[in-house]
Amino acid sequence: MYLWPVAILVLLVDQLSKWWVVTTLVSGESLSLPGGFLFLTLVHNRGAAFGILQGKSNVFIVCAVLVVAGLILYSAFYHISRQAQLLTGLLVGGALGNFIDRIRLGYVIDFLDLRWWPVFNLADVAIVCGGILLALYFFREERDKSDHASS
């Protein structure tokens, strides 16, 4: 099963990157990376994506538990391909990364700053990429099933 190795790798990279940023920058401080395309800006996000729903950490904790449990149960009871397992691992690892921040700190550590988009972190990247790619994967699977059924 590929879900757990991917989830653990995402979780470790996410937590190590957050640890490095917290030990390197103070809240609100920004560091330009070479090329000026990406900045590291330490932000304590007490809300959801884009800073909405500030102070509602308990809602996000419950949502993370439900999503992670649902994905784990789904992968345990249904035979899913390696590709779906990898993508599910991205979602689980990302959700756990932000979940740990909320439980431990009461907020999520964000630090990737494009200047034209809200500041985010590697767990967010894993969640968004995993979610989009998993949706596309299932869409393609359904399309292939309907193509074979009509043949």
Structure tokens that stand for 26 in this block: 């103070």
Distance from chain centroid for Cα 97:
7
Clarify whether 144 is annotated catalytic: no
Other beta carbons within 10 angstroms of residue 38's beta carbon come to 14
Of 14, 101, 110, 113, which one is the catalytic site residue? Answer: 110
Q: How far apart are CA 82 and CA 134, in angstroms?
A: 12
DSSP secondary structure string for all residues of 68-126: HHHHHHHHHHS---HHHHHHHHHHHHHHHHHHHHHHHHSSEEEEEE-SSS--B-HHHHH
Clarify whether 110 is annotated catalytic: yes
Return the H-helix or E-strand segment holding 44: strand 39-45
Provide the annotated active-site residues: 110, 124
